[in-house]
């Protein structure tokens, strides 16, 4: 299966990097064809520019060559895996920017010219995966709605026509985890990615 992994963490020595490595190890063991977009390593730009906003509902909404490359990667992917820390109850801004600039009309959805209704465009994506760490305990994350999880497992899933399977791998209260707890979670991520189908 062709898997696109989108990673967001600014520190290459972080536990977030260890999560990416574990995910890639599991995907490799399963024989998947995997591509990684490391947003911080790319120094990915911020949100849409004024010109991109004006082009949003046109036939050519993608103006940046890097974004165009990522659009093509999404077009060919059968699974999307997001690896990131949850900050302020959401995914990092750099990942939100990636979604805003990449998941545009003509890729994530189309707009019916007559009815102006949105039609899903990611029907080729069979699986959506989120791997995220949280500083807070589960009860608190649930209380504040876990916006990153909702974005991936609800909003993005709707762009697949609601057919993509979802997997969510959370590690709550990261700072309170023992080394053994962190290792166990890395093993869980690795095993889960090995079973991805």
* Residue 103, token pair as written in the block: 């998941």
Consecutive H or E run containing 134: none
pTM for the full predicted model: 0.95
Q: What is the pLDDT of residues 156-172, one digit of tens each?
A: 999 999 999 999 999 99
- Both tokens of 163, joined, read 């057919």
In sequence order, the β-bridge partners of residue 192 are none
Instruction: Report the candidate in 144, 146, 150 with the shortest Cα–Cα distance to residue 128.
Output: 150
Do residues 77 and 2 make contact, with C-beta atoms less than 8 angstroms apart? Answer: yes
Whether 116 shows a pLDDT value over 90: the answer reads no
Please state the domain count of the chain.
Answer: 1
pLDDT at 22: 98
Residue 19: closest CA among 194, 188, 196: 188
Domain that holds residue 163: 2-194
Structure tokens at 6: 């989108």
Confidence class for position 73, pLDDT limits 50, 70, 90? very high
Q: Which two tokens stand for residue 183?
A: 């290792």
The rounded distance, in Å, linking the Cα atoms of 55 and 67 is: 14
The pLDDT tens digits for 42-59 are 999 888 889 998 988 888
Give the pLDDT band of residue 115 (cuts 50, 70, 90).
confident
CA–CA gap between residue 21 and residue 189 (Å, rounded): 10
DSSP secondary structure string for all residues of 25-72: HHHHHTT-EEEEEETTTTT---S--HHHHHHTTSS----SHHHHHHHH
Name the residue among 9, 164, 168, 191 with its Cα closest to residue 74.
164
Instruction: Read off the CATH number of the domain in which 91 is found.
Output: 3.40.50.360
At 56 the pLDDT is: 85
As a whole number of angstroms, the distance between CA 118 and CA 55 comes to: 17
In eight-state DSSP terms, residue 2 is E
Contact in structure between 10 and 122 (CB atoms under 8 Å): no
Closest by alpha carbon to 107, among 146, 86, 80? 80
């Amino acid at each position: 299966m062709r898997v696109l992994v989108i990673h967001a963490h600014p520190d290459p020595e972080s536990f977030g990097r260890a999560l990416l490595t574990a995910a890639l190890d599991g995907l490799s063991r399963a024989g998947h064809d995997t591509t990684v977009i490391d947003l911080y390593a790319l120094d990915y730009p911020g949100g849409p520019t004024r010109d991109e906003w004006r082009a949003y509902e046109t036939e050519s909404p993608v103006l940046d060559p890097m974004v165009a490359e990522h659009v093509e990667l999404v077009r060919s992917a059968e699974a999307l895996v997001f690896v990131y820390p949850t900050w302020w109850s959401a995914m990092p801004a750099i990942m939100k920017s990636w979604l805003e600039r990449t998941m545009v009309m003509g890729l994530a959805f189309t707009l019916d010219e007559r009815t102006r209704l949105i039609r899903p465009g990611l029907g080729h994506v069979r699986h959506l995966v989120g791997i995220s760490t949280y500083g807070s305990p589960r009860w608190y994350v649930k209380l504040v709605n876990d916006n990153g999880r909702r974005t991936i497992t609800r909003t993005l899933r709707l762009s697949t026509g609601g057919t993509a399977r979802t997997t969510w791998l959370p590690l709550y209260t990261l700072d309170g985890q023992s080394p053994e707890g962190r290792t166990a979670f890395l093993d869980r991520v690795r095993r889960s990615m090995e079973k991805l189908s």
